[in-house]
Amino acid sequence: MSRRFSWFNATSLTLGFVFLYLPILILVAYSFNQSKLVTVWAGFSTKWYGELFQNQAFMDAAIVTLKVAVVSSTIATILGTMAAYVLVRLGRFKGRTLFSGMIYAPLVVPDVIVGLSLLLLFISLGMGRGVTTIVLAHATFSMCYVSVVVSSRLVSFDQSLEEAALDLGCTPWDAFRSVTLPIIAPAVISGWLLAFTLSLDDLVIASFVSGPSATTLPMKIFSQVRLGLSPEINALSTIMIAIVTVGVVSSSLLNKRATVRRLRQEQDALKQS
Amino acid sequence: MNLPAEQTGDFIPWEDADAKPIIRFQGVTKKFGDFTAIDNLSLDIYEREFFALLGPSGCGKTTLMRMLAGFETPTSGEIMLDGQNIAPVPPNKRPVNMMFQSYALFPHLTLADNIAFGLKRSDMPKSEIAGRVDEMLSLVQLSKFGSRKPHQISGGQRQRVALARALAKSPKLLLLDEPLAALDKKLREETQFELMDIQEKLGTTFVIVTHDQEEAMTVASRVAVMDHGQLVQVATPEQIYEFPNSRYVADFIGDVNLIEGAAKSVTKDAAVISWAEGLPDINAAAPEGLAKGDNCCFAIRPEKVSISAEKPTDAANALPGKVLDIGYLGNMSTYHVELGNGQIIKAQVANQRRLSRRAYTWDDQVWVSFTATAGLVLSA
Ligand SMILES: Nc1ncnc2c1ncn2[C@@H]1O[C@H](COP(=O)(O)OP(=O)(O)O)[C@@H](O)[C@H]1O
Ligand SMILES: [Mg+2]
């Protein structure tokens, strides 16, 4: 296959990336603007970052957001890994197609619908809305992403490893804990990072299920912006972009490195045998 | 047709009516949906045996083995281990260990930890585990490699670690599913002898699955030939080779000439088989139950067929033909001789001389001959 340089390819690539990243770049640039006016460049400064950390409302929201992200992504990772394990391992059981379809559904259902239905659920259960309900809501939808990541790893996992563990005296749980889990760990961690960033990122679902006691950063930013743009918001958004980028990049690097290493080991094995 | 003891060693528990089998399959059937993988199979395996399951791919060998290990449960019938029905015992509670075809070494553990894996889950005191691991490593000659990971050693070494890991808990029964399939021919042959040594040294009962008949013949005290989930013949390698009980076994084990015919006359120990018009009848020993007029099949191994330029005067059977093909194998040559009716007979001759002095060549007229007891009349 020849992949030659052509002006058409170069132009489409450039346009695509500009379209994707220009708004973000502008936002990052203006977060370092000296001027209070968001649209007028008046020289470089980091003062808005300093002011941001003085703002108690923002700091409270940040703490809520982190708490929600850590707890919900941990729950999502446990549940998502379990779901992936069952769907990949149990082979054909009645309703398997239905289950695996249902696990992917929340990936395509609009956030508004997910948020609304969770809200209705919490109300009918009589649960007070706050951090707990946000955590539950985030765990629910990010669990699907975790199970997608983990099941793609489990599909290529040699089942005879688990059988060997059972054969050597493990109970099924011990076999999972001491053989399966260490081997699929990179995929599980990368699922956790993905769930973490999804939770940091979410505005719509959190807005539906949170109450007056809990405001996440995206919610805070959104409500501030309606009162007018401020360079502080730009600074805050820039920090969030940085965190999310680190999360997503390390998640995919982790997965890719584990895959590459596995392939290399398999090749070594072939060469030597 | 029992062979004298010196051919099988003194170890022949299957002929001792009092011997208790360590494993007994009783009418075992295994179905996957509508498909019957194991079909009403009964089999006894005795302690200290090196038992080989041999058969073409898909005949149910792995399924049989997985039922012993506890990964499959019989649809009907019973499997007894030491007189106990093992159906309700989960794999981790069975005194049985398995060496997997893929070796299934744990990639995240060192070789020593792989071997210690089962020991840590047994009632062996912690203080003895390290010693046992060393012992196993030296049994398979990998003492220096204990701290390596599985991907840092060769295929042959991995095979030996898998063996050491499976043997570490001193199981009553060791299952080996095509243990040597991934090795090249030379290493495979060496490893076969190593396996036999280890088995003899430890006295563990080994059940090995293979689709390689030479491997089964080399290592096993008894061989079970399987077809479509059933046992066709269970016997020592010598018996299987010299006295196959059916066309299927004769054809599956080694090379054989099969001649279809009908019994023209049958006496107590001799049969005359007519098989082609215009060609001499075949004189052979009569098997039990053969009656005059029965269709049958005469089977003879190529190495039991002689080839000569002149008609031999003393042979019970001599058939004229011409050399169609010569397969040179180094230590011997196989002559394909075409008889008058188109039947091809293979004759194997040791190459005692250099090639340049080969006695026959393509298109030569020759005689193939064999004694009356060299071949076997098979009715099935
Ligand atoms: N879990 C299973 N589900 C359905 N069919 C199976 C299963 N395991 C084995 N089989 C079928 O049973 C037959 C025997 O398989 P196996 O015991 O693996 O054969 P062998 O080891 O002799 O090659 C094959 O036709 C295979 O497709
Ligand atoms: Mg098999």
Q: What is the CATH number of the domain that holds B289?
A: 2.40.50.140
Q: Please check whether residue A6 touches B, CB under 8 A.
A: no
In sequence order, what are the residues at sequence separation of 6 or more whose Cβ sits closer than 8 angstroms to the Cβ of residue A228? none
Measure B58 CA to ligand 1 centroid, in angstroms: 6
DSSP label at A44? B
> With left for phi above 0 and alpha for psi between -120 and 50, is residue A170 left, alpha or beta?
beta
Q: Are residues B66 and B195 in the same domain?
A: yes
**Are B322 and B337 within 8 A, CB to CB?**
yes
Query: What pLDDT is attached to residue A270?
Result: 61
Cβ of B71 below 6 Å from ligand 1: no
A272, pLDDT greater than 80: no
Q: Are residues B19 and B67 in the same domain?
A: yes
Query: What pLDDT is attached to residue A176?
Result: 94
Q: Which of B98, B117, B151 lies nearest to residue A268, judging by beta carbons?
A: B151
Q: Average pLDDT in the B126-155 region?
A: 93
B204, pLDDT greater than 90: yes
CA–CA separation, B322 and B367 (whole Å) = 8
Residue type, B133: V
Nearest ligand to the C-alpha atom of residue B177: 2
Q: Are residues B67 and B188 in the same domain?
A: yes
Q: Are residues B228 and B372 in the same domain?
A: no
ipTM of the modeled complex = 0.83
In sequence order, what are the residues at sequence separation of 6 or more whose Cβ sits closer than 8 angstroms to the Cβ of residue A110? none
CB contact under 8 A, B102 and A174: no
Chain A residues touching residue B117 (CB < 8 angstroms): 165, 168
> What is the DSSP code string of B32-86?
ETTEEEEEEEEEEE-TT-EEEEE--TTSSHHHHHHHHHTSS--SEEEEEETTEE-
Q: Average pLDDT in the B92-100 region?
A: 94
- pLDDT tens column, B27-82: 999 999 999 999 999 999 999 999 999 999 999 999 999 999 999 999 999 999 99
Which residues on neighbouring strands pair with residue B44, listed in sequence order? B24
Chain B residues touching residue A269 (CB < 8 angstroms): 151, 155, 158
Q: Are residues B34 and B85 in the same domain?
A: yes
CA nearest to B157 within chain A: A273
The residue contributing the CA closest to ligand 1 atom 16 is: B60
Distance separating the N- and C-terminal Cα atoms of chain B: 18
Residue of B65, B68, B89, B98 best to disrupt the A interface, most CBs of A under 10 A: B98
Q: Are residues B197 and B274 in the same domain?
A: no
Task: Give the nearest ligand 1 atom to B60 CA.
Answer: 17
Measure B52 CA to ligand 1 centroid, in angstroms: 18
Query: What pLDDT is attached to residue B9?
Result: 56
B272 phi/psi in degrees, rounded to 5: -115, 130
B4, pLDDT greater than 50: no
Distance separating the N- and C-terminal Cα atoms of chain A: 32
What's the CATH code, domain A56-227?
1.10.3720.10
pLDDT band at A2; cut points 50, 70, 90 = low
Task: Give the nearest ligand 1 atom to B209 CA.
Answer: 21
**Cα dist from B79 to A173, B21, B24, B40, B86, whole Å:** 26, 11, 6, 12, 6
CA nearest to A181 within chain B: B108
A24, pLDDT greater than 90: no
What tokens does A184 get?
Answer: 């699929």
Q: Are residues B277 and B294 in the same domain?
A: yes
pLDDT band at A269; cut points 50, 70, 90 = low
Tell which wins on pLDDT, A23 or B32: B32
- pLDDT tens column, A70-96: 999 999 999 999 999 988 887 777 777
A59, pLDDT greater than 60: yes
How many Cα atoms within 13 Å fall on the side-chain side of residue B164? Answer: 28
- Short-list A2, A196, A208, A236, CA closest to A80: A196
Give me the domain span that covers residue B230.
5-95+171-248
Q: Note whether residue B130 is domain-resident.
A: no
**Cα dist from A50 to A37, A38, A222, A270, B229, whole Å:** 17, 17, 21, 57, 77
Neighbours of B328 (CB within 10 A): 11
Chain A residues touching residue B153 (CB < 8 angstroms): 272
Q: Average pLDDT in the B345-366 region?
A: 82
The residue contributing the CA closest to ligand 1 atom 4 is: B32
CATH number of the domain where residue B81 is located: 3.40.50.300
**Are B317 and B369 within 8 A, CB to CB?**
yes
Q: SS3 for B288?
A: coil
The residue contributing the CA closest to ligand 1 atom 11 is: B37
CA–CA separation, B325 and A181 (whole Å) = 59
Q: Are residues B298 and B318 in the same domain?
A: yes
Which residues on neighbouring strands pair with residue B50, listed in sequence order? B206
How many structural domains comprise chain B? Answer: 2
In sequence order, what are the residues at sequence separation of 6 or more whose Cβ sits closer than 8 angstroms to the Cβ of residue A230? A36, A38, A224
Cβ of B53 below 6 Å from ligand 1: no
Q: Note whether residue B335 is domain-resident.
A: yes
Query: What pLDDT is attached to residue B6?
Result: 41
Q: SS3 for B4?
A: coil
Chain A residues touching residue B155 (CB < 8 angstroms): 269, 272-273
Task: Give the nearest ligand 1 atom to B65 CA.
Answer: 17
